[in-house]
Structure 1
Amino acid sequence: MGMLSGNPKDQPLNYGEAITIWTNFATNNGLIAAYQTLYNHTGDKELGKLLEEAIQCCKEENEQLETLLKVNGIALPPAPPERPNANLEDIPAGAKFNDPEICAMLAADTAAGLMACSQALGMSIREDIAMMYAQFHMKKGQFAGKVLKLEKEKGWLIMPPLHLNYPDE
């Protein structure tokens, strides 16, 4: 039996898995702080619920990631402090993000997260790490659908030009 046989949790992380897990944890910490701040800027209740869901998803991912980092003796990256709640009316108009901007940021972050999960899944040699990222990917994909639906319902989706002219044959 080789070093990479048996229980995957007994196998060492490769350098790619270690840096991916550490970076994922650090990124989630930043997203939690950012989404808490953006939550203070949104006036749309449905968008606020999506931000809350995104925060909760990042926290749930971080529970798994933190355990992996600690078990493997990897120091945790620093985390920014929790953001306080603020009153939307107290934020000056010129300093306020509007709801379509917030939703676009959420969509872009989710798309980037899907790509990062795919990359992590593809380079993992430990089955438990690969399966964890497959689960993260599935949740992000479902969340992306919710964000897209809200963007369409609210008229916030910025469409790229549609290619409707086909060459004559």
Structure 2
Amino acid sequence: MACWTYLSFVSSIITYIEVGLHTTTDFELKKGFQDGHNLATSHTKELSEFMTQEGVALPQTPQTKPKSNPEDIPLGAKLTDSNLLTQ
């Protein structure tokens, strides 16, 4: 049960990380999001493979967010870097 819950949680977190990656223009913040995305994706892949091999049904996961240019997002709709850090 804990593996299923963890996989569901990490899969959801990846969505928020992708929003940060596609929203920020700050190099250091983007690097942190990329590191987190790599780690979360690795955990998701390994755990999904293990659970599938053991015959455990995988939780539904959100779709990945499309890549976007941070400069194309209107300021009123865009999360600021400080918003991203506190989410």
Deviation for aligned residue 1:51: 0.5
Deviation for aligned residue 1:36: 0.9
Indicate the RMSD between aligned Cα atoms, in angstroms.
1.4
- Report 1:90-169 matches (<5 A): 90-105=72-87
Deviation for aligned residue 1:67: 2.5
CA displacement 1:84-123 (0-9 Å, x = unmatched)? 1111122111111111221222xxxxxxxxxxxxxxxxxx
- Report 1:17-32 matches (<5 A): 19-32=1-14
Could you tell me the TM-score, scaled by structure 1's length?
A: 0.48
Could you tell me which runs of 5 or more consecutive residues in structure 2 were left unpaired when the two chains were aligned. Answer: none
- Report 1:6-45 matches (<5 A): 19-45=1-27
4+ runs deviating over 6 angstroms: none
Q: Is 1:46 matched up with 2:28?
A: yes
- Aligned AA (2:60): P
Q: Is 1:70 matched up with 2:52?
A: yes
Q: Indicate the percent of aligned positions where both proteins have the same amino acid.
A: 28
- Aligned AA (1:66): S
Q: Is 1:84 matched up with 2:66?
A: yes
Could you tell me which runs of 5 or more consecutive residues in structure 1 were left unpaired when the two chains were aligned. Answer: 1-18, 106-169
Corresponding position of 1:56: 38
Deviation for aligned residue 1:71: 2.6
Could you tell me the TM-score, scaled by structure 2's length?
A: 0.87
Provide the aligned length of Structure 1 versus Structure 2: 87
Query: Match of 1:95, SS?
Result: coil
